[in-house]
Amino acid sequence: MEKRPIPTSEAPAAVSEPQVVPSPLAEHLPTLLWDVNPETIDPQAMARTIVQRVIQRGSKEDWAAMLTYYGRPRVQEIVETVPYMSDAAITAVCQFFHIEKETLRCYQRKQSIPQTFNS
């Protein structure tokens, strides 16, 4: 049986410091995450939201910063599970990552929603 150290009053308590968003991602987030306090942004915990916003509303520079920070495999993994993307974003993502739109959760979701007829 392994003995664990007993915390004492002498040991300093672990204090989590605010997450500092590294550059180049930091300069792109305020315009994309207008509804989030910039001082509370945790880029790892908010990766899905950040990737989705960059894809929907980001510039080429935003895409480059996102890919630099998260890496292509992680971004692709997130993209494939995002529940909503515009048709233009779906096309852009499929071309960029060389994937079929049928592999995207958002596309599968769109196909399962009945379309209304325009008269």
pTM: 0.70
- d(CA 111, CA 105) in angstroms, rounded, equals 10
Residue 9, pLDDT > 70, answer: no
- Pick the closest to residue 43 from 70, 71, 65, 62 (CA basis): 70
Asked if residue 37 is part of any domain, the answer here is yes
The structure tokens 């960059």 sit at: 54
Is-contact 78 51, C-beta < 8 A?
A: yes
- Predicted confidence (pLDDT) per residue in 75-91, tens digit: 999 999 999 899 999 99
Q: Which domain holds residue 96?
A: 29-112
pLDDT digits (tens, 9 = 90+) for 58-71: 889 989 989 999 99
Q: How far is CA 34 from CA 1, 29, 31, 78, in A?
A: 51, 8, 6, 21
Please report which helix (H) or strand (E) contains residue 109, including its range: helix 105-112
Q: What percent of the chain has pLDDT over 70?
A: 76
Which pLDDT score is estimated for 10? 52
Asked if residue 97 is part of any domain, the answer here is: yes
The structural domain count of the chain equals 1
Answer yes or no: is 45 within a domain: yes
